[in-house]
Amino acid sequence: MKNRIIIYFTAILLVFTSSLIAQEEKENLFVDSLLNKMTLEEKIGQLVELVTPKSVTKKMLSNGNVSSILGIKDADLANELQQIAVEESRLGIPLLFTNDVIHGYNTTFPIPLAEASSWNPELIEEACRIAAVEAASNGTHLTFAPVVDITRDPRWGRIAEGSGEDVYLGSILAKARVKGFQGNDLKDKSSIGACAKHYVAYGAAEAGKDYNTVDISEITLREIYLPPFKAAVGEGVVSIMSAFNDLNGIPASANYFTLTQILRNEWGFDGFVISDYNSIPELVNHRFAQNKAEAAAKALTAGVDMDIAGNDIKWSVYAPHLDSLITNNIISEDILNESVRRVLRIKYRLGLFENPYVDIEYYKTNMPSFEERQKTALQLAKESIVLLKNQDELLPLKKDLKSITVIGELADNIHHPLGPWNTAPILENVVTPLAGIKNYVSENTEVIYIKGCSVEGIDKSEFGEAIDAAKNSDVVIMIIGETREMSGEAASRSDIGIPGVQLDLVKEITKTGKPVVAVLMNGRPLTIPWLDESVPAILETWFLGDQTGNAVAEVLFGDYNPSGKLPATFPRNVGQIPLYYSHKSTGRPFNEDDKYTAKYLDVDVTPLYSFGYGLSYTQFEYADLRTSKEFYTKDENIDVVLEVTNTGKRNGEEVVQLYITDKFASVTRPVKELKDFQKVFFKAGETKKINFTITPDKLSFYDVYMNKIIEPGEFVISVGGNSHDYITTLFQIIE
């Protein structure tokens, strides 16, 4: 019987493998056959994307001068343009329509940094599925997402678009987002292609200034910044976007080492690479290319397949220069052919040659209901909220308070909850914090709203009105933080404190003696030491999208017990930046009793809030952490078990985080590294046994020769609710 089962499954595997080989051969035959029919002009056209449909002429499409168009959000227009490309061009090659679907399309979900605070990859994947079908219904074939940049500098505005500072969490969420967008079948009408960006190390920009230089070691590149991209490639991502930054002296959009040697030769990526907007001509600004022709040659030979050319074909670098570069033998047509082959391959995989048009009728009956989409948006928004402080259990608030004063410009604005990079939002779907609070309180509770001040201004004329209202209320809810324009691309800040006079207003309100809850809306970690010292309750809500108000209210009034954990460290001040949990020990690690150690004279060396930190309305106790044995070989899995108990009186979720410390290595290692986590629901008083498996790969690192190795030695396992508070045990790897 056993032999029969083995033979049966072997036969299935052979059939499956044969099917995959047959599909690959069919794809290659189709692409090569088409490529052999193409003129040089048509080949070059397949490497050009324009960013607005207004700039595309019928002649361009019928001549095959354009491969892709960014920014179409209308199915009828998509079909109109596609018809010209498919039915009026010589070869009928379909267009690829792209958009930046970063955190939702019509349904706006929390910004990616907020989503990362949920530590819930399954829910994030679900949100991306919804975004994919909404975008596809309006003509989108490929999204320029996910953003998988790791960053340790909150001054950088685009921290809002990624998953924060940690490699492991960032890699897990990169896979979840790719899977969400692309689904199980790229040809499915509810799927769109994904494009991981910005390749690579864009988040390491010096001084947190967007587009800036990056200079890091190869070990740092391979261990910190590359893994989320590798995870995306492993999940089958169809495209990669090359970044703006200079990387170790070679701009990322002309970097053969990263684009070809690593991405293609080492990882086997067979999708296409597209430049970020204008990043190829900017090689001239980098002073890496003398002119745009040389920029085109360097980018193409390095491995950038498609040029985002701007609003006009004249802005393209590939369109006007590749012809002469090839005919003059400056670059080989074989290189051009390979790039064209990659683009055609992905169009084939997306099913565009079979079904180039948007099936408008399909989406009328196959779109998730509005209620389903908003339910997911609400759940993700709730799980993205992080409780930073709750002195004397001020929260949750009672719903039947006599009077509540809500203060802040952000409380009653439908635009800011959307955050940066919202794609095609429906404004009437946005629930503001003020509206959410009014929805949740008793009908006998008076909710008074006072703007108090603007986010960025210096006008204090409404302070008096706000103070008077606070004096007559049971509690004051201050909605403060950043506008949505203050984070995202080209939105770096040198001062990441609370902008404008908002903090001055909070200080005046606290003088009334009334309990104050600070609700933060922002796209990055902020420096808020005064708030931490002086305000009894603080909620980090980020920009939560459509369901902002309902999510905030459910947490404020206790219908949902907050479970969010920080994906990025909150510094005490900007002088601590870069500040991240997985730092090295140094030769003189911090010791508060020794003057000559790694610390500051003027500020505590520790963060204000550590990576992984987040409170709950209940409490969790960790105990009995152990491994199945003490000694392991390099190729063995390590089974870890512990007990976690909800010792409080409320049900709640806890993100159980597992960190590893390599006590000695041939290359200096971080003090600890996140290697696994589980989000677990506990009833009040409930104890659960939690199991983890540490695979050998989680103990590996790069040596000085860039070999991935596992060394024998002693390791510390730390498990807890954040990167600072945990219990530990030891194990050893032997030869």
Once rounded to an integer, what is the mean pLDDT over residues 260-283?
Answer: 97
Asked if 55 contacts 69 with a C-beta cutoff of 8 angstroms, the reply is no
Q: 350: burial class by Cβ within 10 Å (0-12, 13-18, 19+)?
A: buried
| Average of per-residue pLDDT across 55-75 | 94
Other C-beta atoms lying within 10 Å of the C-beta of residue 524: 29
Residue in 611, 588, 608 with CA at minimum distance from that of residue 599? 588
Is 136:186 a contact under the CB 8 Å cutoff? no
pLDDT level of residue 53 (50, 70, 90 thresholds): confident
Q: What is the pLDDT of residue 14?
A: 54
Task: Give the pLDDT band of residue 23 (cuts 50, 70, 90).
Answer: confident
Contact yes or no for 295/317 (Cβ under 8 A): yes
Q: How confident is the model at residue 50 (pLDDT cuts 50, 70, 90)?
A: very high
**Locate tokens 């009928």: which residue?**
92
Place of tokens 């590294």: 673
**Three-state SS for 537?**
strand
pLDDT in tens, 143-199: 999 999 999 999 999 999 999 999 999 999 999 999 999 999 999 999 999 999 999
Q: Tell me the angle at which helices 333-349 and 292-302 cross, rounded to the nearest 10 degrees.
A: 60
**Could you tell me the residue ranges of all domains in the chain?**
38-95+249-258+275-368, 376-576, 620-734
**Does residue 8 carry a pLDDT above 60?**
no
CA dist., res. 65 & res. 476, Å (int): 60
Which residues contact residue 36 at a Cβ distance below 8 angstroms, ignoring those fewer than 6 apart?
none
Would you say 680 and 674 are in contact if contact means Cβ atoms under 8 Å apart? no
In sequence order, what DSSP letters do the residues of 585-634 get, joined into one string? --SS---TT-SSSS--SSS-SS-SB-TT--B-SS-EEEEEEEES-SEEET
Q: State residue 367's pLDDT score.
A: 97
> How confident is the model over 681-716, as pLDDT tens digits?
999 999 999 999 999 999 999 999 999 999 999 999
Residue 230 has pLDDT above 50, yes or no: yes
Catalytic residue among 246, 276, 305, 662: 276
**185 tagged catalytic:** no
pLDDT given for residue 22 in this prediction? 84
Q: Is the pLDDT of residue 11 over 90?
A: no
- Strand order of the sheet with strand 96-99? 272-275, 239-242, 193-199, 142-143, 96-99, 68-70, 48-50, 307-308
Fold that domain 620-734 belongs to in CATH:
Immunoglobulin-like (2.60.40)
Cα radius of gyration rounded to whole Å, the chain: 27
332-357 confidence digits (pLDDT tens):
999 999 999 999 999 999 999 999 99
Q: How many CA atoms lie within 13 A of 186 on its CB side?
A: 22
Residue burial 618-627, b: 16+ Cβ < 10 Å; e: rest? bebebeebeb
Please state, rounded to an integer, the average pLDDT across all residues of the chain: 96
Q: Is the pLDDT of residue 132 over 50?
A: yes
Omega before residue 578 within 30° of 0, cis: yes
Q: Work out the average pLDDT over 614-641.
A: 97
Tokens 């109109």 belong to: 80
Q: Is the Cβ–Cβ distance between 171 and 245 less than 8 Å? A: no
Span 292-300, average pLDDT: 98
CA 327 to chain centre: 42
Residues 38-95+249-258+275-368: name the CATH superfamily.
Glycoside hydrolase, family 3, N-terminal domain (3.20.20.300)
In the predicted structure, residue 213 carries a pLDDT above the cut 70: yes
Sort strands 68-70 and 673-682 into parallel, antiparallel or unpaired: unpaired
Helices (H), 385-534: 433-440, 463-471, 502-510, 529-534
Report the alpha-carbon distance of residue 94 to residue 228 in Å, rounded: 31
pLDDT digits (tens, 9 = 90+) for 231-245: 999 999 999 999 999
What is the rounded distance in angstroms from the CA atom of residue 302 to the CA atom of residue 187? 30
Distance, CA of 478 to CA of 455 (rounded, Å): 12
Q: What is the rounded average pLDDT of the residues 431-458?
A: 97
Q: 730 pLDDT band (50/70/90 cuts)?
A: very high
Q: Token digits for 570?
A: 């909150």
Report pLDDT for 477: 98
Residue 9 has pLDDT above 50, yes or no: no
pLDDT reported for residue 314? 73
pLDDT digit string, tens, across residues 561-590: 999 999 999 999 999 999 999 999 999 999
Q: Which among 467, 471, 555 is positioned nearest to 506, based on CA atoms?
A: 467
For 376-576, the fitting CATH number among 2.10.260.10, 3.40.50.20, 3.40.50.1700, 3.50.50.60 is 3.40.50.1700
Residue 3 binned pLDDT confidence (cut-offs 50, 70, 90): low
Q: Model pTM?
A: 0.96
